[in-house]
A and B are shown apart, each in its own frame.
Chain A
Amino acid sequence: MGSLFRSEEMALCQLFLQSEAAYACVSELGELGLVQFRDLNPDVNAFQRKFVNEVRRCDEMERKLRYLEKEIKKDGIPMLDTGESPEAPQPREMIDLEATFEKLENELREVNQNAEALKRNFLELTELKHILRKTQVFFDESVPTVYQSSVPRSSNKYRRLLQMADNQNEDEQAQLLGEEAVRASQPGQNLKLGFVAGVILRERLPAFERMLWRACRGNVFLRQAMIETPLEDPTNGDQVHKSVFIIFFQGDQLKTRVKKICEGFRATLYPCPEAPADRREMAMGVMTRIEDLNTVLGQTQDHRHRVLVAAAKNLKNWFVKVRKIKAIYHTLNLFNLDVTQKCLIAECWVPLLDIETIQLALRRGTERSGSSVPPILNRMQTFENPPTYNRTNKFTKAFQALIDAYGVASYREMNPAPYTIITFPFLFAVMFGDLGHGAIMALFGLWMIRKEKGLAAQKTDNEIWNIFFGGRYIIFLMGVFSMYTGMIYNDIFSKSLNIFGSHWQMSYNKSTVMENKYLQLSPKEDYEGSPYPFGMDPIWQVAGSNKIIFHNAYKMKISIIFGVIHMVFGVVMSWHNHTYFRNRISLIYEFIPQLMFLLLLFFYMVLLMFIKWIKFAATNEKPYSEACAPSILITFIDMVLFNTPKPAPSGCGVYMFWGQHFVQVLFVLLALGCIPIMLFAKPMLIMQARKLANEEVQPIAGASSDAETGGVSNGGPHGGGGPHEEEEEMSEIFIHQSIHTIEYVLGSVSHTASYLRLWALSLAHAQLAEVLWTMVLSIGLKQEGWFGGVILTCVFGFWAILTVGILVLMEGLSAFLHTLRLHWVEFQSKFYKGQGYAFQPFSFDAIIENGSAAVEE
């Protein structure tokens, strides 16, 4: 059970539930999460369903809870999250819950309203306090300026001003007008100036001033002062900056105009007594009121806090409960009502292996609800395609996700995920091979795996982190395999390890070394005869001038070798599919020619590589010496194009082994012969079968389906197909088959070439690592003395950052994407249809997880 190689066998079941027991049963099934319900009333509007009222009540409860949550978050109270999931409450408990939430919400709203009113009051008082303070300053400072400006003028005016100054209490405002106003005032005319004081938002002030000036033609006088401390806006709690202003004017007409403008600019006006004594008194009054208000405000806040703290303890629990109730009613809405209204009928997909568990859960549900009639689970026959369900665990989940991202497997198709577990990290490692970088990656993966529980508990919205964490096992395996391939490449941060001692010997004397700038070791005399036992000989790492030539020859060959084997593996997987679906025609006329084509051309090329490695050596005599080694690629091209190979240098043979020419011609002809088989055999046979079937069963119309669909594509005995399959026209089958064949034949050429990315990426990675070493770290290593130590520390930091950032992260990402492509395109195209749809069971866990994610957005 639970093997990942194919998706689970599914069954369509009918479920009869007693009306009373339905709720409890669905609740049990939700806890289990193994049943996918189908909508039995697809044409019924969402508002006309049976339990729409309950769903609406749940929505209302959820809204209240969200309101509570928002308020709790605003106050920064920690919410208790035990992580446990309480069972869905009984329907009758819903009323209690509703009442609780209603009470809480009302209480909170009331408190908030009160607090807001109090705050508004507080704001007004504070503004008034500021006005009184600032206007006092205005009145105080205006007097001496008038004195100064008027002293040198006529003594008459001076005297008058003095008199006015004495008379300050009566009309201070007169001084503010300055001497012109005084001059203009006729004796006997009552010079009474009015003024208004208020508070305005600071950013509105310039426009306000301009407007006043224009509307009143310069006949008003405005003084303003900033309030230094920002004030709190009671409606939304923002901090705003405001300014105090005072406007002097003359006459009623101007007064109304000024007031209108103030209103337009949303300035708040406050009464301000004219006499200083009154003002002082008022200020005192305001101060005491502010203090009173502060205590009341504090008490209100305390009360709010207490309410919220109490709510915060249960909030998560309530959320879970409400979501569960809602999910149950949603599911019940999918059910059909029986004619007697006594029972509900549901249709659902269930995994065949879990029917026992589901029946147990149903029995539990019935017992809980106290109903006497047991529920009935009935298997149904169907022609529909069942959903694809792969049972995964935390290790296989990420790999299955990689496959599903391409396309969910068709029902019971071979699942590539179990093979991907190894081939994916391995092909990645071929590109990423470096012991050091692999170790960093593996350690990071290991750390995530070790701290799994803790890291999983602290859910974050950080998408990048979630991706890394979800793929922790992939990362770990990629790291481990990279370490292995790194050891084979003998690369650790672009340097080599010399563990076993190089198998190349030097036998130079001093003069040779002094005379030649470059010395090339001879593969004939300086090579020990057997290679370095594990991985690359370290001498190649220091052979600056021809290391890349040697590495390229080696890495290109392994790319093709592994690529071809990977593709052959894919084709063999299609054999498993054909035999499983009893698809004999595809097995004989598709699988066999496909495999032949791949083996005869490309696997032959792989064999040539091994032959070249074995047969040609520097120590051999002429036809097999190092100078005679032919290029595999040229040989292969000549073979496919039937070219006569270019004559070899004297003493060498054109071919590697006896009869090669004959074998090659035979292989190519056979491979070409496979193409028409792939192209025509299957459609022809289908056509024949149809003709035969039509002749045989002509009298009975419409009974011909079995004989035809038996052989056609994925029909077979395992459901699949469906009745529409036979309608496929012959021409369509031909077109489909030709597309498929062309894709395969051209694909095998381009896919083989595509595997060369293994070489390209690996070369790029090794070169980048080496550049980083020579351009960065070696600078630090060349300094001497204590100063060198300081430099080395800095340089090392820089090098380490670049290593992790570029070589591990970016190169890792790029290698990851290339590996993904190799699996999706080159591997899976050989056998994987990916036309299924995923099994989405009704599960509380998934619903609650999604619900909380949606809220956090």
Chain B
Amino acid sequence: MGAAFFPVLFFTALWGAVGIGMPIMTPKGPHQNLIRCILMLTAACCWLFWLCCYMAQMNPLIGPKLKRDVVAMIGRSWDMKIVDG
């Protein structure tokens, strides 16, 4: 398992709040059920979409294949020094 604890918890909690917490708090009114339905569907879709992306990268089977100049550029700008030698 290559999942980190914090991001999973954070995003699950975030979308859980939208999908479970907010529907509980929706004010009474003619559209209460509609608003609940909208919130729950939004949360479900967005959470699952995030989860799929997360899990697809969790245990990569291949690594990115980079061009030489891209490697050089990454080394310069992404704070990954290319060692001399």
Query: B-contacting residues of A (Cβ < 8 Å)?
Result: 1-5, 396, 418-419, 421-423, 426, 430, 484-485, 488-489, 498, 501-502, 504-511, 513-514, 516-523, 526-527, 529-537, 539-540, 542-547, 549-550, 553-554, 557-558, 561-562, 565, 610, 613-614, 616-620, 626, 629
Determine whether the beta carbon of A547 is less than 8 Å from that of B64. yes
Contacts of B71 in A (CB 8 A): 506, 508, 513, 519
Docked CA distance A232–B30 (Å): 64
A501 touches B66 (CB 8 A): no
Residues of B within 8 A of A558 (CB): 49, 52-53, 56
B65 contacts A520, C-beta separation under 8 Å = yes
Shortest Cβ gap from B37 to chain A (Å): 5
B49-67 Cβ-contact flags toward A at 8 Å (1 or 0): 1101111111111111111
* A516-B68 CB under 8 A given contacts A484-B46, A557-B52: yes
CA gap between A553 and B61 in the complex, in Å:
11
Known A5-B33, A498-B78: A629·B70 in contact at CB below 8 Å: no
Q: Which residues of A contact B75 (CB under 8 A)?
A: 506, 508, 513
Contact B33 A554 (CB under 8 A): no
Distance in angstroms between the alpha carbons of A575 and B7 in the assembled complex: 36
CA distance A544 to B70 in the complex (A): 9
In chain A, what residue has the closest Cβ to B60?
A523
Determine the distance from Cα of A680 to Cα of B84 in the docked complex, in whole angstroms.
Answer: 76
Asked if B41 and A618 sit within 8 Å, CB to CB, the answer is no
- Given A543-B66, A558-B49, A617-B2; A527-B60 close (CB under 8 Å): yes
Answer whether residue B13 sits at the interface, using C-beta atoms and an 8 A cutoff: no
For the complex of A and B, list the 7 residue pairs with the smallest distance between their C-beta atoms, beginning with the closest. Answer: A543-B64, A617-B59, A530-B4, A533-B7, A521-B63, A531-B57, A422-B41
> Chain A residues near B7 (CB, 8 Å)?
530, 533-534
The A-contacting residues of B in range 15-64, CB under 8 angstroms, are 30-31, 33-34, 37-38, 41-42, 45-46, 48-50, 52-64
The B contact surface, by secondary structure, is: helix
Q: In the bound complex, what is the Cα–Cα distance between A1 and B46 (angstroms)?
A: 29
What would 18 A/B residue contacts be, using CB atoms closer than 8 Å? A422-B42, A504-B63, A506-B82, A509-B85, A510-B82, A510-B84, A520-B64, A536-B53, A539-B64, A539-B66, A539-B74, A543-B64, A543-B66, A547-B64, A557-B52, A558-B49, A613-B56, A617-B2
Do residues A614 and B78 form an inter-chain contact, with CB atoms below 8 A? no
B residues near A418, Cβ cutoff 8 Å: 34, 37-38
Known contacts A418-B38, A530-B7, A534-B7; 6 additional CB pairs below 8 A are: A418-B34, A422-B41, A520-B62, A534-B50, A545-B67, A617-B58
Q: State A546–B11 Cα separation when bound (angstroms).
A: 29
The answer for the CA separation of A430 and B53 in the assembled complex, in Å, is 12
The residues of A that contact B52 with a CB separation of less than 8 Å are 554, 557-558, 561
Is B66's CB under 8 angstroms from A518's CB? yes
Give the residue name and chain of the A residue nearest to B46 (CB): A484
Question: In this complex, what residue of A is CB-closest to B41?
Answer: A422
Across the two chains, which residue of chain B brings its CB closest to A539?
B64
- Which residue from B38, B41, B59, B62 sits with its C-beta under 8 Å from A614? B59
Assess the A502–B78 pair: CB atoms within 8 A: yes
Residues on the A chain within 8 Å of B67, using CB: 517-518, 544-545
B74 touches which of A506, A537, A561 (Cβ 8 Å) = A506
Q: How far apart are A778's CB and chain B's nearest CB, in angstroms?
A: 14
**Which chain B positions have C-beta within 8 A of A520?**
62-66
Give chain A residues whose Cβ lies under 8 Å from the Cβ of B4: 530-531, 533
Instruction: Evaluate whether A542 and B59 lie within 8 angstroms (CB atoms) in the complex, with A485-B49, A502-B78 already known.
Output: no
Given that A422-B45, A532-B57, A543-B66 are known contacts, is A508 also in contact with B83, CB under 8 Å in the complex? Answer: yes
Question: Which of B57, B70, B74, B83: most chain A Cβ within 10 A?
Answer: B57
Report the nearest B residue to A553, measured CB to CB.
B56
B10 (CB) vs chain A CBs: closest residue: A533
Q: Which residues from B are CB-within-8-Å of A618?
A: 59-61
Q: Would A523 and B49 be within 8 Å (CB), given that A506-B80, A542-B74, A554-B56 are in contact?
A: no
Instruction: Report chain B residues within 8 Å CB of A629.
Output: 61
Q: How far is the CA of A553 from the CA of B56 in the complex (A)?
A: 9
Min CB distance, A624 to chain B, in Å?
9
For residue B61, which residues in chain A have a CB less than 8 angstroms away from its CB?
523, 616-618, 626, 629
Instruction: Decide: B2 and A529 in contact? CB cutoff 8 A.
Output: yes
- Cβ–Cβ < 8 Å partners of A502 in chain B: 78
A531 touches B58 (CB 8 A): yes
Interface pair A535/B37, CB less than 8 Å apart: no
- Give the distance in Å from the alpha carbon of A516 to the alpha carbon of B65 in the complex: 11
The residue on A at minimum CB distance from B33 is A3
Q: Which residues of A contact B64 (CB under 8 A)?
A: 504, 520-521, 539-540, 542-543, 546-547, 550
